[in-house]
Amino acid sequence: MEAEHIHKLLMIREMNGHQYTGHETVYGDKKSEKAALFSRGSKVAHSCRPNLAYTSKTRHGGLEYRACRPIAPGEMITFSYDDELWTKNTLERRAHLLETKNFICNCPRCQGLDDTSAVRCPRDACVGFARPDISPGNLESTSGRWVCGACGPLDAEAVAVLCKHERSMLMRLLPLKAAAYESTGNDVASPSAVRAVAEGASKLLSPVHWIVSISYELLSTFCVHHATAAKRAKARGVPVPAPHGSEAELHSDAAEAAARHVRICECIAAQCCGGGECEREHTTVHECAKAVFVLAHELRQLKPRQRSAPVVALVERYLPHIEILYGKGDMADVLKMLEETSGKPKPDARSEAEMAADWLGGMNLVGGPARAAPQAVVTPRSNSSEDRGSGAKKKGKNGKR
């Protein structure tokens, strides 16, 4: 076989392969090293605000795309080739997609103002928030045109101030981000150091800046590290000081930080600047389902009376998304935790018909009694019966946006 042909086959696999579980319906929160190619499933285009999610945890061995946001008549169906849509700014998403999928994203969300980079306007007496206007194809800089939602475009001097503030917080965040994945146990930095970055960025930048969102995500990770180290030491009978709180307090802090991260992502998606303290309940963001699934397992480490009611309510809101991502089999422990907390049996996640009725009703597209949702889009089985793996698409279609 010629080298050119081999290269073409490898690129097809790299750009169009889906991680795949096949007939396995219980897989847990772990990734697969296997993949499958689907003749129709690989044709779905990318968007940084997708309206579809997919699962391969099906008994029939096929791939199912399911609506995760309202889809208007005639709207293109899309899903994301990038898992981190709300902790990356536009330039980072573009760079990642160019490196891994070989195209520059110019989807509707990537054109215009960057919704993840809101910063308080530096002008005196202005209470608005400014965002960088990212031009199509831009891969390098946010130091160009910034627009305040209250007072309009900013001058070069104001832009320089904003970029300086953003860089200063990023320099504080990067070492902590590296430490979260390079260290274990008590070697991990103090959660208070990450909390300081999150709170500092919220004040200096805005409550909905991507640095704030990822800082609370990291804070949750740090708390889990310390809680796990304390549990292992206790099992060995080794006394361990608790400078960051007890094991239960750390699990609680981890869940609270993850919930705040999710609320920030919801605000970003809703174009709201409230952030973690926002009192409004926004629409769920499907891409946060993994974070909610993880925080639900942190709640399981606590006694029912120790579980925060708002965090438990957040888990309940995300049950339909968790089911899409992980399947009913992997939801059993989450549902059990909710039953223990409330003292009442929890029903399974809402059906697709119920979700569709809520979405369509919210868009004023239907009236009267709820209508049945359309069936999930099922793609043909993989051409290879040997490929069986996880449930999140690994690579996207080369050249699609």
Q: What DSSP line would sit under 17-78, residue for residue?
A: -EE--TT-----S---S-EE--TTGGGPEE-SS-SEEEE---TTS-EEEEESS---TTPPPE
Q: Is 91 helix (H, G, I), strand (E, B) or coil?
A: helix
In this predicted structure, what is the pLDDT of residue 383? 41
Q: What region, left, alpha or beta, does residue 360 occupy, with left being phi > 0 and alpha being psi -120 to 50 degrees?
A: alpha
78: number of Cβ within 10 Å: 22
- How many alpha carbons lie under 13 Å from residue 238 in its C-beta half-sphere? 7
For residue 20, what pLDDT is reported? 66
pLDDT computed for residue 141 by the predictor: 64
pLDDT score at 15: 73
How many Cβ atoms are within 10 Å of 238's Cβ, its own excluded? Answer: 9
What confidence score (pLDDT) does residue 83 get? 85
pLDDT for 310? 95
Sign of CA dihedral 280, 283, 288, 290: positive
Within its chain, how far is the Cα of 285 from the centroid? 8
What local confidence, expressed as pLDDT, does residue 372 receive? Answer: 38
Q: What is the pTM of this model?
A: 0.80
Per-residue pLDDT of the chain (401 residues; tens, 9 = 90+): 788 888 877 777 777 776 666 655 444 545 556 677 777 777 788 999 999 988 777 777 777 888 999 999 999 999 898 889 999 999 999 999 998 888 899 899 998 899 999 999 998 889 999 999 987 766 666 667 899 999 999 999 999 999 999 999 999 999 998 887 765 544 557 899 999 999 999 999 999 999 999 999 999 999 998 898 888 888 888 776 677 888 999 999 999 999 999 999 999 999 999 998 898 999 999 999 999 999 999 999 999 999 999 999 999 999 999 988 887 778 889 999 999 998 876 655 555 555 555 544 444 444 444 333 334 444 444 443 333 333 344 444 434 44
Find, among 208, 210, 223, the residue nearest to 257 by Cα.
223
CB atoms near residue 342 (< 10 Å): 13
Alpha-carbon distance values, 216 to 177, 222, 292 (Å): 11, 10, 13
